[in-house]
Amino acid sequence: MNILLKSAIIVDSSNKALHLKKRDILIKDGSIISIASKIDTPANTKEIKLKNLHVSIGWFDSSVSFGEPGYEERETIANGIATAAKSGFTDLVLNPSSTPVPDTSSDIVFLKNAAQNKGVNLYPLGCLTNDAKGESLAELFDMKNAGAVGFYDAKHPISNPNLLKIALQYTESFEGLVYSYPLDKKIAGKGIVNEGTVSTKLGLKGIPALAEELQIARDLFILEYAGGKLHIPTISTANGVKLIADAKKKGLNVSCSVAIHNLIFDDTVLHDFDSNYKVMPPLRTNKDCKALVKGVKDGIIDFVTSDHTPINIENKKVEFDNADYGTTGLESAFGSLNLLFGLEKTIELLTKGRERYGLETLKFKEGEKAFITLFNPEETFIFKREESVSTSKNSAFIGKELKGKAYGIIANNEVLF
């Protein structure tokens, strides 16, 4: 497929010659052939002109969940990928949150095959332990060879510290990335929201920040002893940021992420008992939000993620106590981050992170594969439930004003709008 993007403003702070410059971009057979101030449209070439068109390297999300296999009513892989493409994402890391969970090499092959020829690249995580039960290590090396980019029990914390130690030591030989979800379940107890003034007023059981921070401190001590590569997903507390900052100063091989909704919302939004705000980790205080935003700006937090978690209506439209955790986030990711950080920082955040997973670093230049996101950073809109293409509509951002909307992507020699 031959494509000519007309008058596109390139956002790529790593390329000073092109950054924020308006250019025509010619793409042939999936590669960038020419970038110039003016290119005449060649024969057999589709010309694309869009209002206030901006382009960047394709966006990357390090934490998405779909339903397939087992929860197809929430989101199939095909519809999840369509949602991601419409939202501007060319590359996704898929959480092992299906049923059965992917804990063998054949499971990883199934997930990769299900995403083939869909335009968006899907990189599955395998479970760290058999059946995600936290009792014995799964076949990590075989899953790595089958295409797993890391090992994670999908928001199930590793309660056995020795198991984490062995996992880090074992995976070091083949540079496997071990996830450890930051929650001490004994401290968290039966809590469902952040422990504090709001939980007390609402009569909801609270999860203290200590439950996250104790687990992070434990994991970092184990990492320092055992070596290996550790990723701590979706942190939510101010002290969590500080603990990871201190570990990085020591030179430990640790990375972390934060969910976009934990940057945007604090626990005061819970007053209406809207179950779309019931997420894990829970929404914390305004002080925590500010510390997380600062952690992102300072580079202590490595990635932001939509933490896209579709939940069917039967599990959300119930009493708050009984509702499942999770919010969708792919479709609101750009518009919410752009409001918070501005254009250049937002694109930096949405395009970083591939290296941690051993994935190819994309470059915006002639001769490179075309993995490009097309977007308008100035369009403001109210995010409406009926406009969501995700099968599940459990978004915390419904009814919120966002700034910036993706047109779609060009990836794997396909145009997906």
346-349-352 Cα angle (round to 5) = 145
Report the Cα–Cα distance between both ends of the chain, in Å, rounded: 15
Q: How would DSSP label each residue in 308-321?
A: B----GGGTSS-GG
Reply yes or no: is the peptide bond before residue 208 cis, omega within 30 of 0.
Answer: no
Beta-bridge mates of residue 94:
64, 124
Q: Where are the alpha helices (DSSP H) in 250-330?
A: 260-264, 286-298
Distances (CA, A) of 85 to 166, 227, 337, 414: 38, 37, 17, 11
The number of C-alpha atoms within 13 Å of 90 and in the hemisphere containing its C-beta is 29
User: Tokens for 121?
Assistant: 């690249």
Q: How many other CB atoms are found less than 10 A from the CB of residue 245? A: 15
Eight-state DSSP code of residue 137: B
Query: Three-state SS across 198-257?
Result: HHHHHCCCEECHHHHHHHHHHHHHHHHHHCCEEEECCCCCHHHHHHHHHHHHCCCCEEEE
Q: Helix (H, G, I), strand (E, B), or coil: what is residue 9?
A: strand
Clarify whether 307 is annotated catalytic: yes
| Summary count for the chain: helices (H), strands (E) | 12, 17
83-288-355 Cα angle (round to 5) = 50
Which residue of the set 266, 307, 321, 324 is catalytic?
Answer: 307
Instruction: Please answer whether residues 334 and 351 qualify as being in contact, where contact means their C-beta atoms are separated by less than 8 angstroms.
Output: no
Nearest to 412 by CA among 122, 125, 61: 122
Mind telling me the catalytic residues? 307
